[in-house]
Amino acid sequence: MPFRYLLATAAAALFAVLLAVVAARGGDPFVLDRAAHDWAMDHRTRGWAEASEAVTDTGNRLVPYLLCALAGALASPRRTWWLGALTGPGALLAAQLLRYNLVHAVGRERPPVEDWFMHVNGPALPSGHATTSALTAIALASALLLHCRRPATRALAVALPAAWATAVGLTRIYLGVHWPTDVLGGWLLATALTCLALPPLSRALSRTAVDAVAAEAAGRTGREGAAGRDGKRAAGS
């Protein structure tokens, strides 16, 4: 079995266990959830919270969709880069719809509202920002790796998106709007989805490019054949 399927299976299993345990507990936070939340509240300063809010804002809305469009374009052959640029955001939107249904099915409450540094809405698990940024980071890293040959650039292609997604997830805890296991759930969901979806999407984009090249070649051959026949008829007359 390919490693990606093993990783997807492990992430999906851990995610399912987390959902089941949280549901069985009625959404109550774990001991580690409370400890990490209390530590963040005790050490939070306004300056760092404002910086965290700026980072957390990159994990939702426009930025992830733009990065997924870039990832799709980079992962596609040159002739059909535009199709990849459309497929990336479309895949992210599909994952968002799945997460939306899951988060409302679980219905876990967020930390106390008096601890929030910013206004948020909706249930907590899995974290939307953590899921979205992790999905985007994995897609972007996978696309960048296709164009990197040197070990140093390959390491950066993975490290930079991973650092961004990790920072976004951690800011959700620091800002008091998510329990740590909400963020963990988002990371697990993103890992499972990308391991399952990225390879088929990549193959589909490649097949589309091959079909486009074949259709263009067939059209060119047909035009050249028609021109040759016309030339022969003109010479015969």
Q: Which two tokens stand for residue 7?
A: 């990783």
d(C-alpha 126, C-alpha 119), whole Å: 18
DSSP letters, 67-97, are HHHHHHHHHS-GGGHHHHHHHHHHHHHHHHH
Question: Would you say residue 208 has pLDDT above 80?
Answer: no
Question: Would you say residue 121 has pLDDT above 50?
Answer: yes
Each residue's pLDDT tens digit, 4-43? 789 999 999 999 999 999 999 999 999 999 999 999 999 9
pLDDT for res 65: 97
Nearest-CA neighbor of 162 among 145, 192, 141, 182? Answer: 141
Q: DSSP code of 58? A: T
State the average pLDDT for the chain.
Answer: 88
Kindly report which listed range (39-53, 139-153, 187-201, 219-233) carries the lowest average pLDDT score.
219-233
Q: Calculate mean pLDDT across residues 139-153.
A: 93
Q: Which two tokens stand for residue 201?
A: 């999407």
For 199, half-sphere exposure in the C-beta direction (CA atoms, 13 angstrom radius) is 8
Each residue's pLDDT tens digit, 164-180? 999 999 999 999 999 99
d(C-alpha 86, C-alpha 65), whole Å: 10
What confidence category does residue 202 fall into, taking pLDDT thresholds of 50, 70 and 90?
low
pLDDT for res 155: 96
Contact assessment for residue 208 and residue 83, using Cβ atoms and an 8 Å cutoff: yes
pLDDT for res 28: 95
Q: DSSP code of 28? A: P
pLDDT for res 92: 94
Each residue's pLDDT tens digit, 35-71? 999 999 999 999 999 999 999 999 988 999 999 999 9
